[in-house]
Chains A and B, each alone.
Chain A
């Protein structure tokens, strides 16, 4: 199984700051066939279902603000949130969609400082 490790587990930020969440996979998520990285990011606000933000490591889902940026390749990935807003306070999860069993990182809780 591919193990997904997120860091940090929690992060306290002020509105307007730029934050970075890291995700590391135990195996490469880069497909040799199409040179795409099979990594997704989700946002989960309290009491809500997860929401897809990013897939294929850097493709933003329709309707997701452009302050959410996914990057990385192989085994190391990053979700950057530029100019954090109060509405961005949530839990964030990475997920590898490269191979079965599909696995999630442990999550990062974004809190207000």
Chain B
């Protein structure tokens, strides 16, 4: 069974940093691209970042480019999101999500339960 377990969220002041983690199990982590997707309270879904299976391809949403860094450790089956210069508008539930299949398209077959990031003074 595929499992994605996020952690690292919390309350942080504007301008500070936070690092999220997502531990994967139930599949060969090194074979799949991974994503971070967020959902502000009461709002819709926003894709944040993508990293390919071997970390060769990395993409970011414009709203986080230059502030967030996605990375992965395939030996530890873990996905990361380093967030810096946090703003109130980054407040959201952050999900990690696995790409369904390598090859065509980037749709999200599996999602974690999310970790909540609150940016407030």
- Which residues of A are interface residues toward B (Cβ below 8 A)? 31, 34, 36, 38, 40, 42, 44, 49-52, 55-56, 61, 93, 95, 97-98, 100-107
Contact = CB atoms under 8 A, between A and B. Distances in A.
29 contacts: A31-B104, A38-B105, A40-B108, A42-B45, A49-B95, A49-B112, A49-B113, A49-B114, A51-B111, A52-B100, A52-B108, A55-B100, A55-B105, A55-B107, A61-B109, A93-B44, A93-B45, A95-B107, A97-B107, A100-B106, A101-B47, A101-B61, A101-B62, A102-B35, A102-B47, A102-B106, A103-B47, A104-B45, A104-B47
A95 B104 CA distance: 15
A64 B33 CA distance: 23
B107 A52 contact: yes
Contacts of B68: none
A52 B114 CA distance: 16
Contacts of A103: 47
A97 B113 contact: no
Interface size range on B against A: 20 to 34
Nearest to A39: B107
Contact of A106 (B44, B105, B106): B44
A50 B111 contact: yes
Interface in B86-121: 95, 100, 104-109, 111-114
A103 B104 CA distance: 16
A103 to B, nearest CB: 7
B45 to A, nearest CB: 4
A1 to B, nearest CB: 8
Interface string B43-87: 011110010000000010110000000000000000000000000
A54 B16 CA distance: 38
Contacts of B59: 100-101
Given A50-B45, A52-B100, A104-B46, A97 B105 contact: yes
